[in-house]
């Protein structure tokens, strides 16, 4: 991998990790489409992915630094007291409940699933499925808005009728957390399925995105940290990879800021259509070997 | 969450079981569902089972009946 390729992959991973468009799908597809010699499914690629994930997780920690201080304090307070009294304590416990299914499924299923579905064809196919899921989430959301007779009001007013992340039920938090396992399939977006799950649980778009990003931080950080020893293997060009990771962090920071602003009134539809078009386009390019 | 001493005790026991499983994975005694069977230690599994154990202990504290004879809010004797 050249220095320019490392920077490009860092930018791509950082931006696509938080957008509901699947970073893994893009990391599998784009090198194949550009006929680059390395593949994201290659074991030698793992140290690079580790650093990119650490870059993304750092960006999320910076954005939500105040939330994390409150959440960690709330966790210890509620855990020691054996009772939840504040919204912050409830959010802390919701994040714990949401992280556990993702951690269990991640440890036991991630590698077998990634090995099974590592080809560019499958990534392109799942990207189409991801797009269809995003559109389906919005269809169900619009139905919920109609049921609540919110149609004629403005988007901002419509969103006000839905809940904040702290109000989600524990069962819904566990289900949203378990949805993250779908993202082991290259082409299915972790943030997409968790934001969609949050919408189904009755959260506002912006709150669903916030819950998704908070939920992703320990998973991305944990997955990165446990692989850190691989960085010290011989022959790993850490400087080149670190430059990619810094760019990934900057891209993740910018994309998280953009998405939190966008989801004040925006929906998942544009990302759904993008995934369907990108997936179908990639399938055509791969089929005709262009 | 329903409060009961039996549930709290069950969760503590489950937490201890998770800790033991985690240690067995870390020592390489357990090799079930591991990504690399040749690796002698599975620290990822240790971290997972430690998190599960912590969650069980927290849940046990939530399930533990509060109050009793030493509760501060017991009615004052007239």
DSSP letters, A209-224, are HHHHHHHHHHHHHHHH
Mean pLDDT of chain A: 86
pLDDT at A118 > cutoff 60: yes
What is the reported pLDDT for B76?
47
| Size of chain B in residues | 78
Best of A80, A82, A230 to substitute, by most chain B Cβ atoms within 10 angstroms, is: A82
Give me the residues paired with residue A163 across strands: A203
Is residue A248 within 8 Å of A56, Cβ to Cβ? Answer: yes
Question: Could you give the CA distance from residue B6 to residue A239 in angstroms, rounded to a whole number?
Answer: 55
What is the reported pLDDT for B71?
46
Cβ atoms within 10 Å, residue A204: 22
Q: Which residues of chain B have pLDDT under 50?
A: 69-78
* B45 contacts on A by Cβ (under 8 Å): 107
Question: Could you give the CA distance from residue B19 to residue B13 in angstroms, rounded to a whole number?
Answer: 10
Give me the residues paired with residue A203 across strands: A163
- Which CA distances in Å does A24 have to A38, A84, A230, A274? 14, 37, 19, 16
Query: A161-207 pLDDT, tens per residue?
Result: 888 888 889 999 998 888 888 888 888 999 999 999 999 988 999 99
Structure tokens at A277: 């078009």
Buried-exposed string A212-224: b where 16+ CB fall within 10 A, e elsewhere? bbbbbbbbbbbbb
* A80 contacts on B by Cβ (under 8 Å): 61
When CB atoms are compared, the residue of A83, A108, A226 closest to B47 is A226
What is the reported pLDDT for A74?
93
Question: Could you give the CA distance from residue A196 to residue A179 in angstroms, rounded to a whole number?
Answer: 9
* B56 contacts on A by Cβ (under 8 Å): none
What is the reported pLDDT for A212?
93
Query: A146-163 pLDDT, tens per residue?
Result: 887 656 667 777 787 888
Which residues contact residue A110 at a Cβ distance below 8 angstroms, ignoring those fewer than 6 apart? A184, B35
Domain definitions of chain B by residue range:
5-63
Rounded to the nearest angstrom, the minimum Cα separation between A282 and chain B is 30
Query: A16-71 pLDDT, tens per residue?
Result: 889 999 888 888 888 888 888 776 666 667 778 778 888 999 999 999 999 999 99
Query: A246-265 pLDDT, tens per residue?
Result: 999 999 999 999 999 999 88
């Amino acid at each position: 991998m050249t220095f320019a390729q490392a920077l490009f992959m860092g930018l791509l991973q950082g931006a696509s990790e938080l957008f509901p468009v699947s970073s893994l799908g893009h990391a599998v597809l784009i090198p194949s489409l550009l006929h680059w010699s390395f593949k994201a499914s290659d074991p030698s690629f793992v140290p690079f992915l580790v650093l990119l994930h650490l870059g993304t997780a750092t960006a999320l920690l910076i954005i939500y630094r105040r939330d994390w201080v409150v959440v960690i304090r709330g966790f210890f307070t509620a855990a020691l007291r054996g009772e939840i009294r504040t919204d912050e304590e409830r959010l802390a416990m919701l994040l714990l409940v949401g992280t556990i299914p993702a951690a269990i499924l991640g440890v036991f299923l991630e590698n077998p699933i990634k090995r099974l579905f590592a080809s560019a064809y499958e990534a392109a196919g799942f990207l189409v499925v991801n797009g269809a899921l995003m559109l389906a989430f919005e269809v169900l959301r619009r139905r919920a808005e109609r049921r609540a007779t919110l149609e004629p009001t403005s988007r901002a007013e419509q969103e006000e009728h839905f809940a904040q992340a702290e109000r989600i039920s524990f069962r819904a938090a566990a289900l949203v957390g378990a949805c993250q396992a779908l993202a082991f399939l290259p082409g299915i977006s972790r943030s997409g399925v968790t934001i969609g799950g949050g919408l189904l649980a009755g959260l506002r778009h912006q709150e669903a995105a916030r819950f998704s990003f908070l939920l992703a931080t320990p998973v991305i950080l944990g997955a990165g940290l446990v692989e850190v020893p691989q960085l010290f293997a011989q022959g790993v060009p850490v400087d080149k990879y670190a430059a990619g990771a810094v760019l990934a962090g900057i891209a993740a920071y910018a994309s998280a800021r953009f998405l939190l602003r966008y989801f004040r009134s925006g929906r998942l539809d544009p990302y759904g259509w993008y995934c369907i078009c990108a997936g179908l386009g990639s399938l055509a390019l791969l089929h005709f070997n262009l | 969450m329903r409060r009961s001493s039996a549930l709290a005790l069950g969760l503590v026991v489950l937490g201890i079981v998770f800790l033991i499983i985690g240690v067995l994975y870390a020592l390489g005694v357990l090799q079930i569902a591991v990504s690399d069977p040749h690796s002698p230690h599975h620290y990822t599994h240790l971290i997972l089972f430690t998190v599960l154990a912590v969650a069980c202990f927290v849940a046990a504290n939530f399930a533990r009946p509060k109050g009793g004879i030493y509760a501060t809010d017991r009615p004052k004797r007239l």
